Chain A
């Protein structure tokens, strides 16, 4: 079979840092080739070289056995390469068809756009590949899954033969993922070559013909997708064997700690983001909220941490052991005994240019024990930081001078976790996407710490779009859809169904779409 993309001994260096080292790889025509690896393993650098966003430092790249040297994505597109980015590159105000032809209008500057012919093409492709979407709808009105279809249609419109998908399932629901895989297989069967970047191992096994594993900038193995197991892949990615699911001993929930009743949230623009949501979380249990992002989780979390923007209309109650949370400021909420790990840790939970130990202090910097006179009590802070670093296995060389930005995603998250879980006197821990962007190796540590925290009797509210995670950790599971809880699985149900794994995921999937 012919080779669509071939990399021969390609390396990419940024300054003294080698992002890709001596990579040799060939993607055969008409196959789905998955590239897996942890964050920072060099997957995105690799794809950026193929897509013309980076020039290799050394080595050779060839497309269909012709050596190329792309200096911009424009040249890569010309050579028949297309990419669906993790964050879509669409103009929300324009319609689907306008987005698709954008940049390839094929008409004079002051001539009308060839919309009709483009629409005909969209209909044809839609049928062939299961990419159903209304060509006249404005992109802003589409669901995430539909927007992704528009991105794929864009590639087809540009006659891309080689398609790169960067974490395409990160934002999709289980049923949308199934649909996407049908499309990917259909594309492959018509001879397109597909490069799939992902860190989700189940997906790789479900759809890939060939799998390459990257670790620390190198390819550590390439094998057929049918001959490898999830455990083997995880081992190759991390370099040691990892437990993919934590042991979750039965919980014995106590009193209600957090009670939310008839909570509704209306934005300043008049959209109801949350409507009549009620739930309660007991001490010593993990209450998991499963759901696709954008179904009101962020608004709920915002309110619980006192960050709802001015002008938002909030009704209903949220109380911690009878004391109302709504309307308080973050500092006061923390003093009530609540800790919160926000979804977007880099934006909200840390100061990236501060050092590791300064970040271990952030948000808790008012605590008396860290102060002496007008300044900080540096020896006390040092002791505390050392303790946290050892306890949470935070990998860093010099916590007092190293900036947080220089840590890997997993270690950054461990910093946040260590700080928030050890707040003195907490009774409620709010966790939003606690392992997003975290390597497999670190997920193990983080999950164990969460279970450990539960066993000390604190109440934990877990919000995650990763169903794996929700199922592995939760005592009870609520399914959120369009701002309300649509279904709740009791402790008995969850314990019973946890073993069923994939089947349980599908069942939850039905309640969140």
Chain B
């Protein structure tokens, strides 16, 4: 079979099979899957508030998905989006709180976003340089850096920056807040979806062009696919590793624009809620392709929020099963596809 057809077929097959298996699980739990899925669709696509919730989740998922996908194009597993997002969020909240209230909004938002991206990139580059310098496996390094990021942000929050008797920092300057769609266009009434969704989609488009249209992406993918050949062709694989990790970390860090600048307006303990890990799933389902990740993030956004809305009928845990199963199926179908192509 042709590789291009497989690209479509594998995610589709995985989705259909997860749908089938999760229906079975729901049936086993004595719930009518048709009813459950119907309610989920009604509560998300069928309501403007629900769509807003979904878009809000999609935005972060898209960014952490890119964080996994870009290094993945180089055969690097960035498991550290969670830590990179934490570092980015904390930095954005800190910088945002320090800005003078008179600063023009555009500048304030730009400054906070860049700081968040820099913090995320820095965190990922730590793992990247460990890999390049000492050959430390990036999976282990990024996982450990997740714990370290949790420790650092947790400590700084609790002992230094939390407002008295709360678990969050001081609010950011109003100028640094990214407005919600509700405020600007009147869409998605009361939902947390904000204009940073455009930032995320813009970044995905930019990365798509960089990966597949430019010399930069040509070199990076070559270095990932055949490092020895890349060296022969005059490409420095070490530099490529660092750039891929750096870009991934910056994307994860930018997640702060959505959750800190666009929604909470401060840093709060546990605000990322493990969404960085879901990013790996988002990237895998999309075959690490920046444009497909937009759809893939929307799908996971649907599962995450839709799952919440049917909580009274079916526990949220079921949706964790669905998400994880989709990934296992994608990987299995990909392997299967290789065998038959």
Q: Which residues of A does B touch, CB under 8 Å?
A: 15, 305, 307, 329-332, 334, 340, 342, 347-354, 358, 361-363, 365-366, 371, 374-376, 403
Contacts and interface: CB of A to CB of B under 8 A. Distances in A.
**Most chain A beta-carbon contacts within 10 A, residue among B221, B222, B228, B230:** B222
Interface string B193-220: 0000000000000000100011100110
12 contacts: A305-B232, A329-B234, A330-B231, A330-B234, A351-B225, A352-B226, A354-B225, A362-B229, A366-B234, A374-B214, A376-B213, A403-B3
Contacts of B341: 15
A350 B218 contact: no
Given A329-B234, A331-B234, A347 B228 contact: yes
B233 interface: yes
A365 B218 contact: yes
Given A376-B213, A376-B214, A350 B225 contact: no
Contacts of A375: 209, 213-215
Given A342-B232, A363-B232, 13 more contacts: A329-B234, A330-B232, A331-B235, A332-B234, A340-B232, A351-B226, A362-B222, A366-B234, A371-B215, A374-B213, A375-B215, A376-B213, A403-B3
B134 interface: no
A353 B225 contact: yes
Nearest to A330: B234
B229 A347 contact: yes
Nearest to B229: A348
B159 interface: no
Contacts of A347: 226, 228-229
Nearest to A305: B232
Nearest to B222: A351
A352 B225 CA distance: 9
Contacts of A376: 213-215, 218
Nearest to B212: A375
B219 A365 contact: yes
A349 B215 contact: no
Contacts of A15: 340-341
Given A15-B340, A354-B222, A349 B231 contact: no
Nearest to A335: B234
Given A352-B226, A354-B222, A365 B232 contact: no
A14 to B, nearest CB: 10
A363 B219 CA distance: 9
A305 B232 CA distance: 8
A353 to B, nearest CB: 6
Contact of B218 (A348, A349, A358): A358
Contacts of B222: 351, 354, 362
Nearest to A348: B232
Given A366-B215, A375-B209, A376-B213, A350 B229 contact: yes
Prevailing SS type, chain A contact patch:
loop
Interface residues of B, number: 21
Nearest to A352: B226
Contacts of B218: 358, 361, 365, 376
Contacts, number: 65
Contacts of A334: 234
B330 to A, nearest CB: 19
At the interface, is chain B mostly helix, strand, loop or mixed? Answer: helix
Given A330-B233, A363-B234, A376-B218, A348 B228 contact: yes
B6 to A, nearest CB: 13
Nearest to A307: B231
Interface in B207-264: 209, 213-215, 218-219, 221-222, 225-226, 228-235
Contacts of A361: 218
Nearest to B213: A375
A332 B234 CA distance: 8
Contacts of A330: 231-234
A374 B233 CA distance: 20
B156 to A, nearest CB: 39
B219 to A, nearest CB: 7
Contacts of A362: 222, 229, 233
A330 B221 CA distance: 19
A349 B214 CA distance: 21
Nearest to A375: B213
Interface in B140-155: none
Contacts of A371: 215
A403 B213 CA distance: 17
Given A375-B209, A376-B215, A376-B218, A349 B232 contact: yes
A128 B235 CA distance: 55
A334 B234 CA distance: 8
A365 B235 CA distance: 10
A15 B230 CA distance: 32
Contacts of B221: 351, 354
Contacts of B235: 331
Nearest to A16: B1
Contact of A307 (B209, B219, B225, B232): B232
A301 to B, nearest CB: 11
Which of B215, B232, B235 has the largest number of chain A CB atoms within 10 A? B232
A15 B337 CA distance: 12
A354 B3 CA distance: 12
Interface in B72-98: none
Given A375-B213, A376-B213, A363 B226 contact: no
Contacts of A353: 225
Contact of A349 (B3, B219, B229): B229
Contacts of A329: 234
A241 B225 CA distance: 39
A369 B217 CA distance: 18
A329 B3 CA distance: 35
A354 B234 CA distance: 17
A23 to B, nearest CB: 24
Interface string B297-341: 000000000000000000000000000000000000000000011
A351 B221 CA distance: 9
- The 7 lowest CB-CB distance pairs between A and B, nearest first, are A331-B234, A363-B233, A375-B213, A348-B232, A330-B234, A351-B222, A375-B214
A186 to B, nearest CB: 42
